[in-house]
């Protein structure tokens, strides 16, 4: 088969011929129809941290059609339209991933290929109301948002919500989930246009975090938050604790603004704020996320769709922070090079 493989010298992606995957008795063979890209892969490309003696096929997100099933596979059959859970080997404790945890794409071959062989436990039927391209936008980002919002953020009806860095896939899924539950949601961004787009999607308001008085403006709008979903950390995290209501929860899943500075312990303990780190999610959360998306007919925000040959351009766009929503790759047509 053909796959998009990481060149470990240039750290660019290129199309190569690789061996076909072999399925075990509990595996299914999926022909990928669409994949999407994430900062998880971008950081690996930029930090040049992946190394292997064999081909590295990246890609965490994917949706496609089952072409073959192992002898021990139940409830799945050839022709099923499916979505792949990239959260592998979570472990026995649903509260936190175990030592063997990994995200699909390295060291296990990922979705940037014609086919993938993967254990049946990581396969769900794709939501019927979504296309393959929309379904491929879900796995990593929607799972991360679901756990952050419901489990770590402990959202309850009537809570006021703040989502930072709107425009990323995770932030937009958190917005979609909150709006579906009729929550009052506010956002931040360094781009005024993205704030306006978020308001069109149901946010009540937002501020540009590049403004010197952004936190004061936000407090004037909202009077405090019960749930904060943050991907930035950095210097602005101090202001997030100050805007969090007594008993509120902050779910942190990223570090785009760097290390947290100048936190006031008294603010945290006197208001009894809970700060929860969160990463991806377990199998039960993935299934609940798919059910929630299906029952509420949620559609992901798609920024753009690229061909296989344009995948490096897609990552270049992500690196510039230009996207609003998920960047999807059509996986139907392979040529000899990128």
The model's pLDDT over 23-39, given as tens digits with 9 standing for 90+, comes to: 999 999 999 999 999 99
Can you tell me the distance from the alpha carbon of 80 to that of 132, in angstroms, rounded to the nearest whole number? 12
The 10s digit of each residue's pLDDT in 237-264 is: 999 999 999 999 999 998 888 899 999 9
Q: Are 34 and 329 a contacting pair, CB within 8 Å?
A: yes
Q: How many CA atoms lie within 13 A of 65 on its CB side?
A: 7
pLDDT in tens, 178-187: 999 999 999 9
Please tell me the predicted confidence (pLDDT) of residue 255: 86
Distance CA(312)–CA(315), nearest Å, equals 5
Predicted local distance difference test score (pLDDT) of residue 47: 87
User: Is the confidence at residue 199, as pLDDT, over 90?
Assistant: yes
Could you check whether the bond before residue 36 is cis, i.e. omega within 30 degrees of 0? Answer: no
Please state the separation of Cα 230 from the chain's center in Å: 13
- pLDDT computed for residue 322 by the predictor: 84
Surface-to-core class of residue 62, CB atoms within 10 Å of its CB (0-12 exposed, 13-18 middle, 19+ buried):
buried
Residue among 109, 175, 130, 195 at smallest CA distance from 328: 130
| Inter-axis angle of helices 139-146 and 169-180, nearest 10 | 50
Q: What is the pLDDT of residues 99-144, one digit of tens each?
A: 999 999 999 999 999 999 999 999 999 999 999 999 999 999 999 9
Q: Where are the domains of the chain?
A: 2-138+300-330, 144-277
Mean pLDDT of the chain: 95
Residue 48 has pLDDT above 90, yes or no: no
Tokens of 223: 């009077």
Q: Cα(211)–Cα(204) distance, rounded to whole angstroms?
A: 19
Q: Provide the pLDDT for residue 335.
A: 58
Superfamily of domain 2-138+300-330: Medium-chain alcohol dehydrogenases, catalytic domain (3.90.180.10)
Q: Name the CATH superfamily housing domain 144-277.
A: NAD(P)-binding Rossmann-like Domain (3.40.50.720)
Share of the chain above pLDDT 70, in %: 99
Of residues 252, 242, 225, the one with CA closest to residue 149:
252
Question: What is the mean predicted confidence (pLDDT) over 168-172?
Answer: 96
For residue range 152-167, what is the model confidence (pLDDT) as tens digits?
A: 999 999 999 999 999 9
Binning the chain into helix, strand and coil, the percentages to the nearest 5 are 30, 25, 45
Spatial CB neighbours of 47, under 8 Å, sequence gap ≥ 6: none
Question: Is the predicted pLDDT of residue 2 greater than 70, yes or no?
Answer: yes
d(CA 239, CA 24): 51
What the block records as the tokens of 141 is: 């980002």
């Amino acid at each position: 088969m053909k796959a998009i493989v990481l060149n470990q010298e240039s750290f660019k992606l290129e199309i190569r011929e690789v061996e076909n995957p072999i399925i075990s008795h509990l595996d299914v063979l999926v022909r990928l129809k669409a994949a999407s890209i994430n900062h998880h892969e971008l950081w690996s490309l930029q930090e040049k941290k992946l190394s292997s003696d064999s081909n590295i096929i990246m890609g965490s997100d994917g949706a496609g059609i089952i072409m073959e099933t192992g002898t021990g596979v139940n409830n799945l059959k050839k022709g099923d339209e499916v979505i792949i859970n990239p959260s592998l080997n979570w472990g026995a404790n649903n509260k936190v991933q175990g030592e063997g945890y990994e995200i699909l794409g390295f060291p296990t071959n990922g979705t940037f290929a014609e086919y993938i062989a993967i254990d049946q436990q990581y396969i769900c039927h794709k939501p019927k109301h979504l296309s393959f391209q929309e379904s491929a936008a879900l796995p990593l980002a929607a799972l991360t948002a679901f756990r952050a919002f419901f489990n770590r953020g402990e959202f309850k009806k009537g809570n006021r919500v703040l989502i930072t860095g709107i425009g990323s896939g995770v932030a937009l899924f958190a917005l979609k989930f909150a709006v579906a539950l009729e929550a009052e949601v506010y956002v931040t961004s360094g781009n005024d246009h993205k704030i306006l787009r978020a308001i069109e999607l149901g946010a009540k308001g937002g501020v540009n975090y590049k403004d010197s008085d952004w936190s004061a403006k936000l407090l004037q709008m909202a009077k405090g938050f019960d749930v904060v979903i943050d991907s930035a950390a950095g210097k602005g995290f101090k202001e997030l604790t100050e805007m969090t209501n007594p008993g509120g929860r902050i779910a942190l899943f990223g570090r785009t603004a760097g290390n947290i500075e100048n936190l006031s312990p008294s603010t945290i303990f006197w208001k009894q704020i809970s700060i929860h780190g969160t990463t991806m999610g377990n199998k039960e959360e993935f299934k609940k996320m798919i059910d929630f998306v299906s029952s509420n007919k949620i559609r992901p925000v798609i920024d753009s769709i690229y061909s296989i040959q344009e995948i490096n351009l897609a990552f270049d766009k992500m690196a510039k922070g230009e996207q609003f929503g998920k960047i999807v790759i059509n996986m139907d047509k392979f040529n000899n090079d990128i």
